[in-house]
Amino acid sequence: MPFGSDGAGLVLVTVAVVVAGLGLGCALALLWLYRRLGLQRGQLRHALSQLAHSEQQTRDANELLLAKQGVEQAFAALSTYMQGIDQHAMVSVTDTAGRILQVNDKFVQISGHSREALVGQDHRLLNSGYHDPSFFGRMWTAISHGDIWRDVVCNRNEAGGLYWVDMAIVPQKDAAGQVGRYIAVCVDITEQRRHEEALHYRATHDMLTELPNRVLLLERMARAIARARGRQRLVAVYFVNLNRFKQINDSLGRGAGDQVLYDMARRLQDEARGGDTVARLAGDEFVVVCEGLARSMVEPFGARIHTALQAPVLLSGEPHVLGGSVGVALFPDHGDDPETLVKRADLAMVQSKGQGDRGVCIFSSEMQDAIDVRVQKEARLRDAIDRRELVLHYQPQVDFETGALVSLEALVRWDSPDYGFLMPGKFIGLAEESGLIGQIDTYVVDAACRQMQRWHQQGHGWIRTAVNLAATKFSDPHFKTELHDAMVRYGIPPGVLELEVTESLAMRDPDAALVLMHELKEQGILLSVDDFGTGYSNLGYLKRFPADRLKVDQSFVRGLLKSPQDRAIVAAVVRLAHNLNMRAIAEGVETEDEAILLYALDVDEIQGYWMARPQPAEAVEKMFDRPMLLDPAAFLQREAMPVVLLVEDEEITRQLLEHLLQSFGVRVASAASAEQALQMFHQHDYAVAIVDHWLPGSSGIELLSQIRKRMPHTARVLMTVSNDPQVLRDAINIGGVAHFLAKPVDPAVLRNVVHDASWNTVAQRRHARPPG
């Protein structure tokens, strides 16, 4: 190897040794450093662990402090709560058998028992007997299973009085979860309960009679029906309505009405059995409910109620008999719920009233069918107004002196596709009961005004038309506005539309009626007092009514030929009308004889079937162009003809005499006996009475004596075949006979006697006739 080569290799070796030494030194240094770092890391972890442990200790100490403070606050709050509970609630602690272990002062105060008397005693010491055993059974079931129980409990205090508490019982369990004792917290709610009971009493009782009201009645009926259903027993429901109660209330005042209700309630209670319910529904309606009544006793018990109602009621020392109507419905025969039974007992009561209150009426299915038909008819009537099925017919009112048609009365009819053509009597009552009458009246006024306008436009002029409205319409606050609007809508001038005001309406509240009538007059509406004489008029008010006509009720017109009382009433009404500057009109004139007598009594106008029946507008229009609906001359001549009363029992002789008398220009009313003649006394003002001596029953002289007493202006003639002076003396002295006719009757003598007697009598009558 050359030198140069050896030197280079030595250098390389040296370098390698140096590099290896450096690498080893670095490795050792790194190893030492890693170990050193490991030791420091362990120390750091230990320091961190100690730090964390210290922080946890600090945190635990803070939590303990906070927990301690919370417990102290809770104990303070609990102490406050316990003080509050002690002040306002009763607290007791009992063992699982119910023996009292501890009570607070409030418990002692309210119960009235001392603490010594309570501790160790069973809680049943306070039992009032108000609750049934099942009530406490449910309580023990709940608390023995560890559940909290709460309810309202009635207890009895040491003095025997009742008190009410809102009670909560909390079971207290041990560590094993077993119930060891019970804590009861009670709040006294006695005053609240009394107030609630008072409110409940007022809500379920009638304050006047102190009877159950409808609410309580239905509750009791529901319970009675449930019991009866399970026991297969009867429940009888009696519906009672007093008669003439409104009359007592209106005439004697509300105080008298209240006394009647109270007295009748006591009577019903006296008749009821123990356990029966007597309730007042409203007004003068009562219900008696009898559970378990024998079927054979249903009618007898109802008869007892009916009899009890008949006894007089003393009002201000005066006896007043009201009576009542009784209907009954039965469970299960007539219904199985309270509302149905009460409704059907009511229907039976209405049936009883319609039969004249002869006793108790038991419900039948026919009654329900009738009411179902009535309900359906009401629905049809309601639709009829909208469908314009209501039509007006018009009846002429004729002046006696001229025979001319002076006005019309509009009368409503129902042209129903279901029921046919119905007169007012078939649906007006239903309209009044259902509240539809106001709508019908509005419809009638509008229809009448519309028809008057049409007649005017056709050239007939304004035809005065009277409209008869229900009494309730006059109390409608919109009534005057409706009238005014209708008159404006159809251009009705004043003095054309007439309203008929019933006497009963006018006298119900005379002062209010006066105000209303004057307001109507200011609108240009004519007024007539309808049905006059059927009520109880106060003439002091009547003379102030601004009425134009006074209508004589048709009931008096029908009695003109039979009753002297009706004839006297009509005469008095006519004179009254004239003295008050009203015209007198008689309605319901059906015969010529009635018309003749009304003329004799100075009636101004008449209407009725004798003149014309109510007719549709198209038919009545044909009368407008007729100058007279009756001939005054013929009518007056007919009225002036004397009437002869002929009494003869032999038919052939009677017929012959009738023919002769009619040929003399007189009217003849004949009778076959004295009894028949007596019944005819009041049909006419007889000018002459021709009576046969021998009559069946009473003699002719006895009949003439009756004529002498009751018709002193009538000339009396006796027909006889006797020449006995005693007969003649009796005829003159007893019968007041002015003429004798020997049988067989000479026609010439008969003519002279009738002529002289009849026309003298007519002259006397006309001279005595009061001025109109």
Q: State the DSSP H helix or E strand holding residue 583, giving kind and residue range, or none if neither.
A: strand 583-586
Q: How is residue 141 written in tokens?
A: 């079931």
- pLDDT computed for residue 680 by the predictor: 87
Q: How far apart are CA 716 and CA 705, in angstroms?
A: 9
pLDDT at residue 590 is higher than 50: yes
Tens of pLDDT along 330-388?
999 999 999 999 999 999 998 888 777 677 899 988 887 777 777 888 889 999 988 99
Q: How far apart are CA 630 and CA 398, in angstroms?
A: 8
Q: How far apart are CA 304 and CA 302, in angstroms?
A: 5
646 - beta bridge partners? 670, 690
What's the mean pLDDT in 51-65? Answer: 72
Find the range with the poorest average confidence among 342-351, 575-584, 759-768.
759-768
Q: How far apart are CA 149 and CA 143, in angstroms?
A: 6
pLDDT at residue 113 is higher than 90: yes
Sheet holding 100-103, edge to edge: 100-103, 90-95, 179-188, 162-173, 149-156
8 A C-beta contact, residue 197 and residue 130 = no
Return all residues near 268 (Cβ < 8 A) that are at least 6 apart.
Answer: 240, 278, 286, 288, 305, 308
Tens of pLDDT along 242-256?
998 888 887 788 889
State yes or no: cis peptide before 744, omega within 30 of 0. yes
| Angstrom distances, CA of residue 167 to CA of 145, 164, 441, 569 | 18, 9, 64, 79
- Report residue 723: phi and psi, to 5°: -110, 15
409 - beta bridge partners? 395, 466
Q: Which residue has the higher pLDDT, 634 or 738?
A: 738
Hey, what domains does the chain have and what are their CATH numbers? Answer: 89-194 (3.30.450.20), 205-363 (3.30.70.270), 377-629 (3.20.20.450), 641-768 (3.40.50.2300)
8 A C-beta contact, residue 492 and residue 505 = no
| Angstrom distances, CA of residue 157 to CA of 109, 113, 125, 198, 395 | 10, 7, 9, 22, 83
Find the range with the poorest average confidence among 34-48, 64-78, 412-426.
64-78
- pLDDT computed for residue 355 by the predictor: 76
Band (1; pLDDT cuts 50, 70, 90): very low
- pLDDT computed for residue 16 by the predictor: 67
Q: How far apart are CA 107 and CA 119, in angstroms?
A: 11
| Dihedral angle, C-alpha 52, 55, 57, 59, nearest 10 ° | -130
Q: How far apart are CA 627 and CA 559, in angstroms?
A: 31
Band (2; pLDDT cuts 50, 70, 90): very low
pLDDT at residue 41 is higher than 80: no
Return all residues near 186 (Cβ < 8 A) that are at least 6 apart.
Answer: 89, 90, 91, 92, 107, 153, 165, 166, 167, 168
Q: Which residue has the higher pLDDT, 728 or 70?
A: 728
Torsional sign, CA 642, 645, 651, 654: negative
b/e per residue 642-658 (b: at least 16 CB within 10 A): bbbbbbbbeeebbeebb
Question: Within 10 Å of residue 123's Cβ, how many Cβ atoms?
Answer: 18
103 - beta bridge partners? 92
What's the mean pLDDT in 386-394? Answer: 94
* % of the chain exceeding 90 in pLDDT: 46
- pLDDT computed for residue 584 by the predictor: 93
Q: How far apart are CA 590 and CA 250, in angstroms?
A: 36
Q: How far apart are CA 220 and CA 224, in angstroms?
A: 6
* Largest separation between any pair of C-alpha atoms in the chain: 228
Tell me the average pLDDT of the chain: 85
Based on its alpha-carbon atoms, the radius of gyration of the chain, rounded to whole angstroms, reads 53
8 A C-beta contact, residue 585 and residue 552 = yes
Band (273; pLDDT cuts 50, 70, 90): very high
Residue whose tokens read 């003080």: 83
Q: How far apart are CA 616 and CA 264, in angstroms?
A: 52
Nearest to 560 by CA among 607, 600, 597: 597
Find the range with the poorest average confidence among 245-259, 486-500, 507-521.
507-521
8 A C-beta contact, residue 694 and residue 722 = no
- pLDDT computed for residue 454 by the predictor: 96
pLDDT at residue 79 is higher than 60: no
Find the range with the poorest average confidence among 103-107, 534-538, 592-596, 626-630.
534-538
Tens of pLDDT along 130-167?
999 999 999 999 999 999 999 999 999 999 999 999 99
Tens of pLDDT along 638-691?
556 678 999 999 998 998 898 888 877 678 899 999 989 988 887 787 889 999
Nearest to 530 by CA among 555, 559, 501, 509: 501
Nearest to 517 by CA among 483, 490, 491, 554: 483
If you ran DSSP here, which 8-state letter would residue 131 be given?
A: S
Band (541; pLDDT cuts 50, 70, 90): low
Question: Within 10 Å of residue 380's Cβ, how many Cβ atoms?
Answer: 18
pLDDT at residue 425 is higher than 70: yes
Q: How far apart are CA 438 and CA 444, in angstroms?
A: 10
